[in-house]
Structure 1
């Protein structure tokens, strides 16, 4: 299966030291917008700046999500260690806000911009502005595009182990509620893997419900409540899959309210809340992602791109995940104690 092979084709796991969870935030929400554009921004046209004058602008699809927070923490620590300043804008799932934030960072003469999760296809206005200013952009799961020097390919590979675990645990038959989010490229890619893998199991019926940002916990609970009404206990094998685990955690609250223990639950990202839920048995499995390491690596690669200038070639960094279940959660935590932070 091509999707099963994708994880094994991923490059080696990025190894970085443990990073403290810190984040800065901007005090205002910018509101400017422009047009879309083309070409690499690795060769910055900005005048050379001393490290203490350099600014990294981070635009997050939701800064309150634990894995977004980990990426922000990793990038922030790495940037501040290099003498850069960091500002973060929480776009709260709104692409217009993200574009305006990027434009605002351009007006502040930022030296680099990070996009967390928004697909580059929704950031034409902001990316045109960074290109015009010669500011390099890196995306976390947003894909490559004109003016983007690197991206992490953490969308599709992370979905594979969680989806395979679901298929195996269900014995290839039953009903699944899939909680999706199509505004973010990461979830789009993960949903694509889920769909491709489930094609081979016609005896598994899938119902899809899309969640919102903000509101994903509440949406997860609401969609699960409606789905459970049509899938009574003992009717068949049942499972809930989330393109990341927070909607699944919301669904778990609905399961607990109804006293339902017959539904398997799956997520992706490996937040501290998810790891604890695996420990207490309410979450069947999650896939851990080293978000802090990815954030630090993004900053390292952007520095390399700035130094290389026009000779820089776009990069995609693929990072394999770790499936965490009741069977291995304690040994996993021995190796990754930071996962509970």
Structure 2
């Protein structure tokens, strides 16, 4: 099922580990050495600091993989830092990177408020600060911000879930109040389910520093208090497996389904495990925002172009629903249903036209 909407690392974990509800580790995410550029025009060497709020999220890996596909093509070096779900740590890591003399700061999904000291320091040093991946409470705090369209994917999932669970079914939500994306997805999912008149029995925020344990605790509470519970909505991909495993442990996998976002390195293998409660995810080539960030930085450095945050709204991102019937193959190195080659080739062609004569 596809919803035609306009908007806008590899890892090695066994299916058994994912089925146990473990968040992906960050060993496969590391600082990237400067590569030999593959574009034909001259490009100055740059070092980009990249801070990820929560690199254990498989979707975050998709953002980073697209970003580094772009920086690799340009021969730029990337220094990667993982804040492990702690916004305060994200700010500290960003400040450390700025003091190391990076040429630009890119942050994925740490919101504006906790990042203000780092953003102020970057501005004082003339270092551009760009956000890629999530909506911000204060977009203007950044030189540019490129979020995916969480409302579009959320509404698409909500519509699908509403049709699957039927009218007046009980639904529990694993939400988030730290990242604005979680709030937007929750609201959009509820709107998408409005026609089914779903009964929301709980909408609790998961502690991002204890994803597995807290997700299990919340789902257990929902199951105990609601014997007729029909579904769990996990607003982030890394909530889905802990939710599903809790449902299986309670012996209710035949009655309670899990729905979430992104056919990624966590959800695809988990959906394929025997008796998995995870029934569907909404997805689209949303990681294009990572390449867009590189494109905007190149324009800034190469031609002194102003940053354009509205560029994310012009990305073509069709949203589709993945179920067990149409899941992509998930080999050992699987990351995304949308291989980066198509998109990096488009950008390299664009860059050659814009900068090939320079």
Structure-1-length-normalised TM-score: 0.78
Q: Show the counterpart of 2:263.
A: 270
Q: Secondary structure at the match of 1:284?
A: strand
Which shows bigger deviation, 237-246 or 202-211?
Answer: 202-211
Q: Show the counterpart of 1:112.
A: 104
Q: Secondary structure at the match of 1:324?
A: strand
Q: Does 1:99 align with 2:97?
A: no
Q: Does 1:83 align with 2:80?
A: no
**How far apart, in 1, do the equivalents of 2:324 and 2:295 lie?**
35
**How far apart, in 2, do the equivalents of 1:110 and 1:325 lie?**
42
- Unmatched tracts of structure 1, length 5 or more: 1-5, 12-18, 27-48
Q: Show the counterpart of 1:14.
A: none
Residues 116, 279 of structure 1: CA spacing in aligned structure 2 closer, same or farther, 3 A cutoff? Answer: same
User: Residue 163 of structure 2 contacts residue 196 of structure 2 at CA under 8 Å; is this kept in 1?
Assistant: no
The alpha-carbon deviation at position 268 of structure 1 amounts to 0.7
**How far apart, in 2, do the equivalents of 1:138 and 1:118 lie?**
11
Give me the CA root mean square deviation.
Answer: 2.9
Which shows bigger deviation, 194-203 or 154-163?
Answer: 194-203
Q: Secondary structure at the match of 1:10?
A: coil
The alpha-carbon deviation at position 86 of structure 1 amounts to 0.8
Residues 197, 161 of structure 1: CA spacing in aligned structure 2 closer, same or farther, 3 A cutoff? Answer: closer
Q: Show the counterpart of 2:353.
A: none
**How far apart, in 1, do the equivalents of 2:85 and 2:216 lie?**
19
User: Residue 185 of structure 2 contacts residue 235 of structure 2 at CA under 8 Å; is this kept in 1?
Assistant: yes
User: Residue 201 of structure 2 contacts residue 222 of structure 2 at CA under 8 Å; is this kept in 1?
Assistant: no
Residues 287, 200 of structure 1: CA spacing in aligned structure 2 closer, same or farther, 3 A cutoff? Answer: closer
**How far apart, in 2, do the equivalents of 1:248 and 1:93 lie?**
17
**How far apart, in 2, do the equivalents of 1:303 and 1:254 lie?**
46
**How far apart, in 2, do the equivalents of 1:69 and 1:311 lie?**
27
Structure-2-length-normalised TM-score: 0.74
Cα offsets for 1:29-79 (capped at 9, x unmatched): xxxxxxxxxxxxxxxxxxxx9733x11111111112111122222222321
The alpha-carbon deviation at position 9 of structure 1 amounts to 4.0
Cα offsets for 1:162-194 (capped at 9, x unmatched): 211111111131111100111112212212213
**How far apart, in 2, do the equivalents of 1:255 and 1:192 lie?**
24
Aligned with residue 125 of structure 2, among 111, 121, 133: 133
Q: Tell me the number of residue pairs that the alignment of Structure 1 and Structure 2 aligns.
A: 300
The alpha-carbon deviation at position 263 of structure 1 amounts to 0.6
The alpha-carbon deviation at position 276 of structure 1 amounts to 2.3
